[in-house]
Chain A
Amino acid sequence: MARYGMVIDLNKCVGCGACVMACITENRREQALKAIEEGLQALENFKKRTYITTHILGTYPNVGIVYMHMICQHCENPPCVSVCPTGASYKTRDGIVLVDKAKCIGCEYCVQACPYGARFWDPYVRAIDKCTFCVHRLAKGQEPACVSTCPTGARVFGNLDDPGSEVSRLVASGAAVALKKEEGTSPKVFYVFPMRRRR
């Protein structure tokens, strides 16, 4: 039994957005096509399982740019699971947090409970949607679509319980850190933050 996790190295990210597009193509293609048909308003409101925000740091001439990645953190103690009234949100034995769309009633309590804003209501499938770590690809022995697409290898995926895996080594090195530790959620997505550039 694995304990899947991800490390996102922000030093390596070039902000190309390939991970975002790969995720949409892999998981939300039908919904995206419907949004395209519906027009600009629907496209503007189209929610993504993962997205990138751009942050400009410093002042001229010492300016840097950082691309931050939003994705479900697949917490060890997921608040979205504990608040879900029907048990539609659940954690698999591999530690992946998923949504049983048939059981989801659309109360959006999990949206309010998630400290990372990783969940959203999908009007096309009428259920809450979020990153699944591409669980269907994992079943076939493949990596999540965003990981296999990233041209710079910024996203690393693997078993956190395997000391030999790259994710484990990155986490053990202390270079990769979890976000919002104070929430007590124990996220399984870690970030390597940009190093300060030397003059």
Chain B
Amino acid sequence: MIEVQHAWDIRIVLDLTFGGMGVAAFIIAFLYYLRGEKEFNVKAALAGMISLLIGLLILVTHLGKPEAALYTVLSPNLSSVMAWGVFFNILALVFGGLFALPGLVKLPYAGNERVMRLLGALGSAFSFLVMAYTGTLLARTSIHLWRSPVTPLLFILVALSSGVGLCALVAVALKKDVPRELVDFSMITTFLAFVTMTLYFAVADISTEAFRYSVHLMLSELAGATAALYLLGFIAPFAVYFYNRKKPSRTNLVVLAVLLILQSLLARFLVVYAGAIELPW
């Protein structure tokens, strides 16, 4: 008997989307901070940390017993991906938050470049671990669609796409230029995410029954989301990107940024909701 998973719902999708987007935006902002533009990138990093925090707050609402969440710190099971994820999230929030807070309030260490660089580097390292964790979390289950090296890779790629999207939105809001190479980079991640996502369909024939069922779900009950992902998440960003190269405008950049964030949301939604398990009963 094959059963579609119901334990994880839209709140997990939102947590992974906001979390992945936030940490990717933080890493991008820190890399540009190192290249010179300080004030704006600290604000972009702050937006990333706020996104991560929103994701975590949504996750807490999914927990059946959130008041017991302290046990993840008090008695962590170090063989659990989720336990590591909790630490990565906390450390990314602490170091990333300390790096980004001067974008909101005046803090004594903000003028000390060495301290800021150290905080940013630590924040970025743990942010990358959070980004990798969002897919690995799903890969360590009995759901065959998720249990694939492709899943963490796809989640890293869509996180990077959405991270560029968030940085672009902050730049437009603060009337700053969005670096050309950053937009180019989002097209590379979009293309790679398209290839990675398509791999699920390409290998379905030679996979397990549960995997095939999940792919069947993507093409039947979830066909709307699949079509939306390919049209809005993969094809439309390229169309807007090339259009923007001909006629650059801030509106184009905002549309592109929203589409990149949508790409991450739809890809995660599809993978989570198509999860199915083959039971021996």
Residues of A in contact with B, size category: 35 or more
Whether the Cβ atoms of A107 and B277 lie closer than 8 Å is no
Residues of B in contact with A, size category: 35 or more
Contacts of B66 in A (CB 8 A): 105-106
Closest to B140 in A: A83
Whether the Cβ atoms of A86 and B65 lie closer than 8 Å is no
Contacts of A86 in B (CB 8 A): 68, 71-72, 74-77, 83
Whether the Cβ atoms of B142 and A113 lie closer than 8 Å is yes
CB distance from A61 to the nearest CB of B (A): 26
**A87 close to chain B: CB less than 8 A:** yes
Within 8 A of A (CB), among B230-265: none
Secondary structure type dominating chain A contacts: loop
Closest to B68 in A: A105
Contacts of A123 in B (CB 8 A): 64
Whether the Cβ atoms of B68 and A85 lie closer than 8 Å is no
Whether the Cβ atoms of A103 and B64 lie closer than 8 Å is no
**What mask results when residues 105 to 136 of chain A are scored 1 for a CB within 8 Å of chain B, else 0?**
11111011111110001010011000000000
CB distance from A92 to the nearest CB of B (A): 16
Q: How far is the CA of A106 from the CA of B1 in the complex (A)?
A: 25
**What mask results when residues 75 to 102 of chain B are scored 1 for a CB within 8 Å of chain A, else 0?**
1110111110110000000000000000
Contacts of B143 in A (CB 8 A): 112
CB distance from B273 to the nearest CB of A (A): 13
**B198 close to chain A: CB less than 8 A:** no
Contacts of A105 in B (CB 8 A): 63-66, 68-69, 71-72
CB distance from A107 to the nearest CB of B (A): 6
Q: How far is the CA of A103 from the CA of B68 in the complex (A)?
A: 6
Within 8 A of B (CB), among A69-115: 69-70, 79, 81-88, 102-109, 111-115
Whether the Cβ atoms of A179 and B7 lie closer than 8 Å is no
Contacts of B280 in A (CB 8 A): 68, 116, 179-180
Interface residue ranges, B against A (CB under 8 Å): 1, 3, 5, 7-8, 62-66, 68-69, 71-72, 74-77, 79-83, 85-86, 137, 140-143, 275, 277, 279-281
